[in-house]
Structure 1
């Protein structure tokens, strides 16, 4: 499952980089549980640390011990009153984690203590595999770099597809590799016009490579870099594409899929001019182990598009994607980030602690767009609209644009 470095206290206002583990802090219980350190767990519990202490992703010591296969710690925590059915941010219980990583003895212990697995088959469905011989990686053309590795253009059964390689630092860690496979197995079940289609994982190869549909027009980042500011009609049409894809993810059953790394680079355009969201759900496990333990996912995603609560390492929900969405829409009207020359982490810091937001000139942003953006990047996550609400507002704005002047062709707008 996810890799974390547990802090002993909330980060300071001007924190830079990951914290070191405080061996005396209460979060040491989580660290010791993940390491199978029974004596350390006993020491923390004797200090009065609650057995159900959770990190900001709602993952308890029992979650971590279960996914790491630490049987003695699991038994100890249950004896000390740990909640066998505590649910983390992704709707997973300790039993869900134990099943995902094949720890059968721990599964039996958890089930004997009333453990349930609410995600059910999502924990166990294998990822669709494609024989390595079907794709000639020697002829692959490098077309870019993603969050997790390089991206190549290859042919599979006569069709051009994208092959995404995972960094060796991730793929070589079997536990993290299993987490990727679990997320990809979920991705393969998703079907939506504004979601990039997952095709499968190559087997019998030394690297972890998965295939997705290839979108020939590149990313929204590429579009903005080449075209600059988009006309309002096109910007709204693109915003609707993104919002519809994100709404599909957020309404996924049995639990929502939070992207956590929604940026212009993770929005691609197909030949028809439609935008599609990609690389969702993978960011939470794309963290590398370090020598001290685990890195927190507070730095997950790109700083420039990061919601304040994520930067502050606070509990968060689906509205983090709404915040990122607002910044993307802002860029489409302006032609790029307003603070491109500034250090991305400093930008995130000011947004998190000084409530800084990009300017909204009335010359560039129509009034209904300004109002919508202000709602979407509200400092209180509870006050941000859902993507379902955003779609309704954008459709209303689009209708008003269409009554004042003709809507430009989507195909013509998509030409790079």
Structure 2
């Protein structure tokens, strides 16, 4: 018999065929016992299966029984196994996928069941020469059956996962669009999706919004479409898999940006999320995927998602061409104002101050560092010198030099503020890699 789909070819003398029939008939008479043995072996080897309840184990036993009876009938009749014969595996595959089992565990459970079946064949062969030959004549048929069934089962499993993922993505996208429109989920799938991501039931629970875009060779009109799509999905998956307050953020690939809404939970501290985003960005960069990531301030609930989204997109403007992470929760108002300053603000800086700072930066920035340390030490020069690990007289000389060149005395609050503002504006000036302060947001 040939078995292009299922069982292969049976060969042998009449004695071998008679022995093979004996083995299969005896197994058919003990098929319930074999199924019990298989379930026990599966539970012993796969913790995810063992952790389930009696109803699940009964379902597994029923599947094992149907497979065993299927194989035994096909082998006894020396016929091919068809797709119709194994149609019952489709529903079982979908049940396992719906229950959240890993595909590897599902296929492993099937493998364990088949190993029990093969061990039973060898056991019933009895160790005689003709029995061993009869058992070996079944090996090819069994391997073909395993390959045939596991392929169909895995395809069904993956198909269900793909459909489920598409449904989740659709519900997530619908929820995000509702929130960005300034509305709240009223109920049904959107509300359930919100709760699954920690957004609710308290509508004023603190959250942040993250906006990310690809930069570098994977972004822009010249990118390879397939490579760019792969990088895009990899970045979206990485952000979506972050865990904040025990939940993953609501993450959607929207137009040319990735948008994530992360519920912060009690206390509303965004620091850990910012750390994780930086780790994700650095890891992706090591894999050749460059991201620009903007993080909004903490807002009190879903009603403020539109404002937070605008903030996150604004933060993207602060990044250079190679991207990075711009997190508003980690910025002081002074820094934010400097980054948002226009050309007029820079023209208001006294040319003598701007000239000194530019010259100092080219020489290593020691005067700028001294001004900052002096301000951080609350105008205590000795403390500033210790912070810089220089002699007190050296620090004093540097401040005197600043005063001589600019006419601003750092010991006077008004003059010190002028100097600090000029330094902040210099730090926030468009970098050479992003001269036009390119807006990465869509």
Bigger relative contact order (CA 8 A; separation at least 6): 1
TM-score by length of 2: 0.25
TM-score by length of 1: 0.26
Structure of higher CA gyration radius: 2
